[in-house]
Structure 1
Amino acid sequence: MKLINKIIPTTVVGSYPAVKSKGLKSFLDPYRQALETAVGDQIKSGIDIISTGQVRGDMITTLTSQIPGIRDQKVKGVIQPPLKPMTAEDTKYAVSRHNKVKAMLAGPSTISHALKIDTPLYRSRDELILDLAQIIAKEALNLESLGIAIFQIDEPILSTGIADMGTAYQAVSAITGALRVPTCIHVCGDIGKVIDSIIKMPVDIIDLEFSCNPENLETVSKKEFSGKQIGFGAVDSTSPEIDTVDEIKARIEKGIEIFGPEKLLIDPDCGLRMHKRDVAFKKLKNMVEAAGEVRRNLNE
């Protein structure tokens, strides 16, 4: 699977700081300017595979606020797919600006554990997860039809040990089995206790963080990922300090030692929403520069 015609391409995990509109434009769509800024900054920084920036809010409530059966983060009845796509308009804009776009949605397990089940119609959280998977699968198919390059499922809950990994596998299968585009699962945190289950997930790319959690390097170095590619978190998304080019290069080079250059997609550990715009932009720009220097060294 080759996503782009270069080794160690750069991408993002998802979110970007939201720069809201002002004046009349804000009444029409208060987040339109944020979307345009996020997409424009990613393109300007040189990212190979961009996102929408997920600027309309956190990754869970932007979906649950649109799903019938959920109100105020409580499950009130059997959930149903929304009548119209939830994230298509922003994705359509990103695709119009760049030929390689990664779409991402919060995964069913992570969404479920953020909700209170306030109805007897769900006997267990696992039942809710599988229903959520059907809704996410429908949304993913809508995004695929717009021309995205990758579809990513965000499942940070999986590293905590709280979620049932068997149910998570079923849910991910229900989503990725319906898609033709390459698929990815993003799991942040320490993956030491769940790595074997994550490797088995039916996806093409496994995206992990290695800057905030360098111990993950030791964990993955002992594992076989077969044909899966690795989304390699090489920028610390938790720190407001701007990672230097040399710091990012050193992290990428460690990834190459373990996986080889052909398997890697370089990205931040996680989303950058919590940072100021200039910090997020510089982190991405330095990441692109570092990947470029490593790439040139490999070609020499």
Structure 2
Amino acid sequence: MFYKQEIGSMKKPDYLISAYGKEEFHTLKKRALKETVELMESAGLDNIGIGGEMYRWEMYENPVDHLDGLVYYGRVRSFDNRYYKKASVVGKIKRKSSAYLEEFIDVQEIAKKDIKVPITGPYTLMDWSFNDYYPSRLELGLDFARAVREEIIELEKHWKGKGPLRVQIDEPAASTHPWEVSTFVEIFNETVKNLNNVKISSHICYSKDYRSLYPYILEMKTTQLALEFSNRDTINLGIDDDSRRGFRVIKDLMDMGENREIGIGVIDVHTDFIEPPELVRDRILYVAKFYDIEKIIINPDCGLRTRSREVAYKKLRSLVEGTKLAEKGLS
């Protein structure tokens, strides 16, 4: 009944972390990919994403390394005690090589379940870069969009599966500038313009209030929004509004016109707390009371790379078992 998907990242095995920056990283990453795909598939997911993003070190640096027109100035703090190298745009943005193709080809050889390709979105690339070249954020964002679209087109050419290629465009920056949502939507739509045989979804995390994205976000050309709800929810059992306060906002989004597929985050990725399957069940059943069941997708709030692999696996197992309980309750 419910489609269960992973959002993106998984913590890398220790042997791969210690090999970063060394030649052996390139010989070990496929081993890590295989192990992570097997872990996700054994958890019971229907879609294992790209296998935990084992080939990527950071969601910003990875694509930027494959673009012309940027230079790195140094590291900045992003979240908790994590840092990334922030680049400045000093020339026209152009794609010079593929950021994701090798990983995409390899995961197709390994995976037995569905896959999708998470890609850092152009608005986030624009927002997380200094701009020393373009006259406006919009013009910069549109060129990032064209580069990302070229990437998606190349991936589709190497797609060997049945049906359309699933691509998830990650836009964590979208919710940080609510006054600029119309610009975000224009950039996003430029990215997906004239794509063939591709199913687009978008993951937007870290929003203080998803309502601030409306009504403009209704114009986004995406079939699915994967959003986070559990990190603001209670851990009490129940399907009443108070127990499920983290998910109540979905009602408001519906009132503003939202009716697309919605990936509901039923697992909090910022804590080691293992959600009981009964809690996952109640989060799903609550949303199923008012949202079209056929358009509810089950996923964690975000990628699980901040958790240990053991904790991440337990959380994914709970997601799967809780989904089964919800399906039983609705049958």
Q: How much has 1:9 moved relative to structure 2?
A: 0.9
TM-score under structure 1 length normalisation = 0.89
Which residue does 1:168 correspond to in 2? 184
The correspondence for 2:295, drawn from 252, 260, 263, is: 263
CA deviations over 1:143-185 (Å, ceiling 9, x no partner): 2231464211111112122572222112211222233322111
| Length-normalised TM-score, structure 2 | 0.81
- In structure 2, what is the equivalent of residue 4 of structure 1? none
2:128 aligned with 1:114, yes or no?
yes
Give the alignment partner of residue 182 of structure 1, picking from 189, 199, 203: 199
1:39 is matched by which residue type in structure 2? Answer: V
CA drift of 1:226 comes to 5.6
Report the Cα distance in structure 2 between the residues aligned to 1:226 and 1:236, rounded to whole angstroms. 23
AA aligned opposite 1:186: H
Q: Which moved more, 1:270-279 or 1:186-195?
A: 186-195
Counterpart CA distance in 1 for 2:191 and 2:126 is 15
Q: How many residues align?
A: 290
Q: Is the 8 A contact 1:17 1:38 kept in 2?
A: no
For 2:7 and 2:217, how far apart are their aligned partners in 1? 17
Matches within 5 A, 1:1-300: 7-19=1-13, 20-21=15-16, 26=24, 28-52=26-50, 53-55=52-54, 56-72=56-72, 73-82=87-96, 84-96=97-109, 97-119=111-133, 122-145=134-157, 146=159, 147=161, 149-161=165-177, 164-179=180-195, 180-188=197-205, 189-190=207-208, 191-214=210-233, 217-224=247-254, 225=257, 227-299=259-331
Cα deviation, 1:90-128, whole Å, max 9, x if unaligned, reads 122222223411111111111111111233xx1122111
Percent identity for Structure 1 against Structure 2:
27
Distance in 2 (CA, whole Å) between partners of 1:216 and 1:109 is: 26
Structure 2: distance between partners of 1:219 and 1:94: 35
Write the distance in 2 (CA, Å) between the matches of 1:256 and 1:297: 11
Secondary structure of residue in 2 paired with 1:206: strand
User: Is the Cα–Cα contact under 8 Å of residues 5 and 46 in structure 2 kept in the other structure?
Assistant: yes
Structure 1 CA distance for aligned equivalents of residues 253 and 132 of structure 2: 41
Q: CA RMSD in A?
A: 2.2
* AA in 2 matched with 1:172: F
- How far does residue 263 in structure 1 lie from its aligned partner after superposition? 1.0
Letter matched to residue 155 of structure 2: L
- SS of the aligned residue for 2:3 comes to coil
1:30 to 1:67, Cα distance in 2 relative to 1, 3 A: farther
Moved more, 123-132 or 163-172: 163-172
2-structure distance, mates of 1:33, 1:74: 34
Is the deviation greater in 60-69 or in 210-219?
A: 210-219
Q: Secondary structure at the match of 2:232?
A: coil
Q: Quick check: 1:192–1:216 contact (8 Å CA) kept in 2?
A: no
2:285 maps to amino acid: E
Gaps of 5+ in 2: 73-86, 234-244
**Cα deviation digits, residues 210-240 of structure 1 (max 9, x gap):** 1013455332203335651111111001112
Q: Which has the higher strand share?
A: 2
Structure 1 range deviating more: 136-145 or 261-270 = 136-145
